[in-house]
Amino acid sequence: MTYAKDEIMTATDMVRNFSSVLGSLTKGKSKRVVVMKNNRFEAVMIPIDEYEKMSEAVTILEKIYASTKKKSDG
């Protein structure tokens, strides 16, 4: 995956600017923030509504996978 330069933030900068970063996410100014620590991508911060959509999609996909697996096993 690729990230834009303005989406990447060091862990130190995240700590220093947490409130403004959170505000930017919740107001829709940013869609994600990638947190780097020791020059490695460590985490991604996204708005809760996006997380809930992704979580729901995973649940649906897991059900589909389980259903197709049962059909192929039986």
Place of tokens 């869609």: 31
Question: Comparing C-alpha atoms, which of 27, 31, 29, 23 is closest to residue 51?
Answer: 31
We report the CATH number of the domain holding residue 51 as 3.40.1620.10
Mean pLDDT, all residues of the chain: 94
Each residue's pLDDT tens digit, 21-49: 999 999 999 999 999 999 999 999 999 99
Number of domains present in the structure of the chain: 1
Under 8 Å CB-to-CB from 41, ≥6 apart: which residues?
3, 34, 35
- Cβ(14)–Cβ(21) under 8 Å? yes
Q: Residue 15 is part of which domain span? A: 5-73
How far apart (Å, rounded) are the C-alpha atoms in residues 23 and 43? 18
Under 8 Å CB-to-CB from 6, ≥6 apart: which residues?
30
Asked if pLDDT for residue 73 goes beyond 80, the answer is no
